[in-house]
Structure 1
Amino acid sequence: MTANTPRPPRGRRTAIAVGIAAALTGVLAGCGHSGGSPASKPTTRIPAKAAASTAAATDSTLHMITNEGHRLAFHVTPGHQPAIVLDAGGGLDSSYWKKIVPELSARTGSEIITYDRAGMGASDPVPGPWKAQDAVSDLEAGLTALGATRHVVLVSHSEAGEIATYITGQHPGQFAGAVLVDAALPQFSTDTEIARVAAATRPEVEQIQAKDPKARTQAERQLLAVAAGYVPDQRAYHQAVWPAAVPADVIVSEQTPFPTSPPDAEAWRAAQSAFASEAPNRHLVTAAGSSHDIPLDRPDIVEAQIEAMAATVH
């Protein structure tokens, strides 16, 4: 996407809410914190109806889990194993899955876990540049505290694909499979796309930097955190490898995240296809008639792929 490329409509609450370029290339719209192994503490259980939270389903329970000094909101709908973990895209929280969670619970009987990344929903904000391993550490801490340490089915939309790539690479034995929903994949982050995205985002970043820090929105603060290390972070992500032992279903939208930029749309499709073709336990599915918001436009496809993946877990 060049700096002159028209931006997609902003009328819908999509995963590009934190800035078109940043959200679509796998750079997470979270806030960084010091890395290291998860330092989780016992969870605090609060009934979702009684909490001022973004719990995805009315019968879920909110667990506030502490990692590296900040609290993260994990919402759990009870059920049997395998646990299904839903991770929303940039600028979004667990409420993005609110229509899918009850259906998945009914169809699979599985435990459903959604969560708010740092700075989103009911989770604490954490200042500083965003780093992928910080987001991985947060998810690790939450799943460990909740006992979801084996046979997990991970569902990742948009920029959450970067978290999925790193966490499955570090803990392949923890995950039975993944459903990648128009997810940002390493194959997309070529030098060409990194440069185009950085150029497209620069005017918006400069505009935000000129504002009074107190007047910046949550999304604007997150975009600045992402932009701080965008180029080196994406170059590193391009080298990441998905573990061969973890099967993945890849759902790509018909419109892609770049409906107004044919070169970037083609690069996105090519990345999805290349990833799916690298191993026999990966499958590519096109969500006909869908925008980048496949969970909103075609929840039937997302639910069917998750159900099929969960059914393979023994």
Structure 2
Amino acid sequence: MIISDLDLYARPQKRVRINRRRWINLLDLGEGGPSVVLCGGDHSTTLVWARVHSKLARDFRVVAYDRAGLGFSDPGPFPRTTPRVVGDLRAALKAAGIAPPYVLVGASNGGFETRWFARHHPEEVVGMVLVDTAADDWTLRQQAAAPSWRPAWKNYLNQLRYVAACARSGALRPGLAEYAQYVPEPNAQLPEALNLQRRDAALTAGYWRTHISECEAIETASALGGPDTRALLGDLPLVVLSAGLRSAPPLPTEEAEAFLATLEAGQDALAALSTRGVRRHVTDSGHNIQIDRPEVVIGAVAEVIALAPTGRQPSTTPPR
């Protein structure tokens, strides 16, 4: 069944139990293999894929999930590292009976997780789409290219910690500058129930604690690539989608240019993860290509599935 009603995202979709104490929320639509697994960036839920999911599910089985501590998924252990996020995902796929092979789609920081998944469970992966994600060693490269970036990043994290403290004390209310900046305003394109759910989530200290931990884990995730990174996918199909409308953080002009140049070079490095990797500029899209140009992501996924090896079929049982 394909559901396009956005009210769906205002309530749990399919909560599966991954251990004695924790449940993860999935949105599982469509039929057919290989299954497409959508991995959003830090502090994302199934909603980030709303413009892609149901359309892809007309032809394929497609699953998205709320990251632990967000949406309708229970909180997970801290810190929220890449191995822990992938562990939750694989446990949820098993609990839901969604067996490999998988085509992994990683947007933003979700690209670190799809690569970790493929590095440690290569027999389960038959293709990948990376949606404006960063390359391995990204934080080290950015620090070298733009020395002012790290202090600015640390300042941003401190701002989030203050917002979390306000949420914890109940002070995150209308009239506070941080409320206007960090609590989402109602979106006229979304149903009222969904706007309320998004607002209420942003008023909880747990939401901000999870968000901060995921941001802090970016540096570690960026360094997870090993010497085998270039050969990560072998000859599996890979499409790298790069945003053409990126903006640098507020940095001195030369450093801002170096920051963007480092991101650009990283996109070529990502395409080299497979001998069949291709990179495409999405010139009229910002960072969230799955929102700005969903048809491009849908086309890339369909292309990877068409090229995925049919002979490399792992066990039809869910992941262990």
Instruction: Give TM-score, length-normalised by structure 1.
Output: 0.73
CA gap 1:201/1:131 in 2 versus in 1, 3 angstroms: same
Aligned partners of 1:191, 1:277: CA distance in 2, in Å?
18
Name whichever structure is richer in strand by fraction. Answer: 1
Are 2:40 and 1:80 equivalent residues in the alignment? no
CA deviation string 1:260-300 (max 9, x = no partner): 63222111110011221353221101112110011111112
The letter for the 1-side match of 2:212 is: L
The equivalent of 1:65 in structure 2 is 16
User: Is 1:311 the equivalent of 2:303?
Assistant: no
SS at match of 1:114: strand
Q: Distance in 2 between matches of 1:164 and 1:55?
A: 26
**Alpha-carbon separation, structure 2, partners of 1:229 and 1:55:** 28
Within 2, Cα distance between the matches of 1:247 and 1:143? 22
Q: Which of 35, 42, 45 lines up with 1:93 in the alignment? A: 45
Trace 1:174-213 onto structure 2 (pairs within 5 A).
174-193=124-143, 197-210=149-162, 211-212=165-166, 213=168
3-state SS of 1:92 partner: coil
Matched, 1:162 2:149: no
- Is the 8 Å Cα contact of residues 238 and 274 (structure 2) preserved in structure 1? no
Task: Describe the shift of the 1:55–1:251 C-alpha distance in structure 2 as closer, same or farther (beyond 3 A).
Answer: farther
Cα displacement string for residues 3-32 of structure 1 (whole angstroms, at most 9, x for unaligned residues): xxxxxxxxxxxxxxxxxxxxxxxxxxxxxx
Judged with a 3 Å threshold, the aligned counterparts in structure 2 of structure 1 residues 105 and 88 are, in CA distance, closer, same or farther, namely: same
Distance in 2 (CA, whole Å) between partners of 1:117 and 1:202 is 23
Counterparts in 2 of 1:257 and 1:142: CA distance versus 1, 3 Å? farther
Change beyond 3 A, Cα 1:200–1:152: same
Q: Which runs of 5+ in 2 are unaligned?
A: 173-201, 251-255, 311-320
Give me the whole-angstrom Cα distance separating, in 1, the residues matched to 2:303 and 2:98. 19
User: Shift of residue 121 of structure 1?
Assistant: 1.2
Mark the CA change 1:150 to 1:206 in structure 2 (over 3 Å): closer, same or farther: closer
Residues 88/209 of structure 1: CA separation in 2 closer, same or farther (3 Å cut): closer
181, 205, 208: which is aligned to 1:220?
A: 208
| In structure 2, C-alpha distance between the alignment counterparts of 1:271 and 1:63, rounded to whole Å | 36
> Which residue pairs with 2:286 in the alignment?
291
Which residues of structure 1 form unaligned runs of 5+? 1-46
- The corresponding residue for 2:242 is 252
CA distance in 1 between counterparts of 2:299 and 2:90 reads: 26
Range that drifts further, 238-247 or 197-206:
238-247
Question: Which residue identity does 2:104 align to in structure 1?
Answer: L
Instruction: For 1:209 and 1:137, locate their aligned partners in 2 and report how far apart those are by CA, in whole Å.
Output: 26
Q: In 1, are the aligned partners of 2:13 and 2:27 still within 8 Å (CA)? A: yes
Aligned-partner SS, 2:151: helix
Matched, 1:237 2:189: no
Tell me the SS of whatever aligns to 1:156. strand
SS in 2 for 1:190: helix
TM-fit CA distance, 1:259: 7.3
Q: Output the aligned Cα RMSD.
A: 3.1
Listed as ranges, the matches of 1:33-44 within 5 Å are none
Structure 2 counterpart of 1:150, one-letter code: P
Aligned to 1:10: none
Tell me which amino acid in the other structure corresponds to 2:234: A
Which consecutive aligned stretches of 4+ in structure 1 deviate over 6 angstroms post-superposition? none
Whether the aligned pair in 1 keeps the contact of 2:245 and 2:285 (CA below 8 Å) is yes
Task: Flag the structure with higher helix content.
Answer: 2
| Equivalenced residues, count | 261
Matched residues in 1 for 2:114 and 2:217: separation? 19
Could you tell me which amino acid in structure 2 is paired with residue 264 of structure 1?
Answer: F
Structure-2 separation of matches of 1:227 and 1:82: 31
1:53 CA displacement = 5.9
In the TM superposition, residue 113 of structure 1 has moved relative to its aligned partner by 0.7
SS in 1 for 2:68: coil
Measure, in 2, the Cα distance between the counterparts of 1:165 and 1:126: 21
The alignment-based identity, stated in percent, is: 22
Structure 2 vs 1, CA of residues 259 and 253 (structure 1 numbering), >3 Å: closer, same or farther?
Answer: farther
Change (3 A) 1:53 1:206: same
Q: Deviations over 1:154-200 (max 9, x none)?
A: 11100101110111111111111011000122152325438654322
1:67–1:53 CA distance, 2 compared to 1 (3 A): farther
Deviation at 1:209, TM superposition (A): 3.4
1:44-59 to structure 2, matched below 5 A, reads 54=9
